Amino acid sequence: MKVLEDAFARFDRIAISFSGAEDVVLIDMASSILGKDVPVFTLDTGRLHPETYRFIETVRERYGIAVEVRFPDATAVGELVRHKGLFSFYRDGHQECCAVRKIQPLREKLAGLHAWVTGQRRDQGVTRTALPTEQVDTAFSTPERTLVKFNPLAEWTRADVWSYIHEHDVPYNPLHDQGMPSIGCQPCTRAIGPNDSERDGRWWWENADHKECGLHSQNVIPVKPVTADL
C-alpha cells in the first residue's frame, strides 16, 4: 500500500496496468486511496478469454471506475493475420503477435505517462526474481522522457495476494479456479499442475526464461537500451 501511496503522491501522469487477473488487488488498494479516480487501463488483444472480458466489466462496476481499454492497430493485426494466420505464435514464437497486439498499444499509452504500476511479483517465475518495487523502465523510457515503473506487489507471495483477495472480498477472475494462476490470452494460457511454477501455463511451448511478452522485457534482458527493440 505504501508503494502505491508514494507513487500517486509523486506522479500525476500515472496509471495502473490491469491484466484482468489477480493484479485486481492493485485496483482495490488504489480505490481506497483515490476513490473512483483510479487511473487504470487494460490491453484488449482481441484474444482474451470470455471470462476475462466479463471480469474487467465486474471490476469496472464494483469500483465505479473508468477502465480504459486499449486496442491494437486494426491494420497491423490484419496484416499479421493475412500473412501468417491466427496462430503464428505456435510456430514462430509469441513475440511478433505480442508486439502487434500488446506492445504497440502499450507503447502508445505509456507515451502519455511518467509512471505506471504493474502487478508483477518476484515469486511468479525465473524472469522476475530480482524485481524491485520501483525501477526506471528501460524498455519504454525515451531519450526525452524517463518512465518509472512501480511494482507494489514485488515482495508479495502468491499466498499474500490470495489472503488479501479473501480478506477484502475482492472479485477475481474465475479462471484462477480452473488452474490458471497467471492469465493472458486464451490461446497462450493453459492450466498448470500443483508442482508447476506460476507462469508455466503461459506460452508453455517456449523456454521458461523467455516467458515475458515485451511488457516487461527488461526482466529478461536487464541492460536494455532506452529505445527497446521489441
Residue positions annotated with a catalytic role: 213
C-alpha cell at 218: 527488461
Which helix (H) or strand (E) segment is 117 a member of? Answer: strand 115-117
| Among the listed residues 7, 97, 131, 147, the single contact to ligand SF4 using CB under 6 A | 97
CB nearer to ligand SF4: give 141 or 182: 182
Write the DSSP symbol of residue 123. Answer: G
How many whole angstroms separate alpha carbon 104 and alpha carbon 10? 26
Helix (H) or strand (E) holding 70: strand 67-70
**Following CA atoms 150, 99, 60, 12 in sequence, which dihedral angle do they give, to the nearest 10 degrees?**
40
- Closest contact distance (angstroms) between CB of 127 and ligand SF4 is 15
Residue among 188, 192, 215, 230 that touches ligand SF4 (CB under 6 A): 188
CB atoms within 10 A of CB 2: 8
Site string for ligand SF4, 37-66 (x = CB under 6 A): --------x-x-------------------
Task: Find the binding residues for ligand SF4 in span 138-157 (CB under 6 A).
Answer: none
Position 216 contacts ligand SF4 (CB under 6 A): no
Alpha-carbon span 215 to 190, nearest angstrom:
20
Q: How far is the CB of 87 from ligand SF4 (least distance, A)?
A: 9
Q: Count of alpha carbons within 13 Å of 9, Cβ hemisphere only? A: 7
Q: Which of 185, 192, 215, 230 binds ligand SF4 (CB under 6 A)?
A: 185
Q: Are 35 and 9 in contact (CB under 8 A)?
A: no
- Which range touches ligand SF4 (CB under 6 A), out of 3-11, 50-58, 96-104, 131-139? 96-104
Q: Which of 11/90 has CB closer to ligand SF4? A: 90
Least distance to ligand SF4 from the beta carbon of 228, Å? 16
Q: Binders of ligand SF4: how many residues, by CB under 6 A?
A: 13
Binding flag, residue 69, ligand SF4 (CB under 6 A):
no
Distances (CA, A) of 156 to 7, 124, 164, 224, 225: 17, 10, 10, 26, 29
Residue selected from 49, 101, 121, 199 as contacting ligand SF4 according to rule CB under 6 A: 101
Q: Return residues touching ligand SF4 (CB under 6 A).
A: 45, 47, 89, 94, 97-98, 101-102, 184-185, 187-188, 213
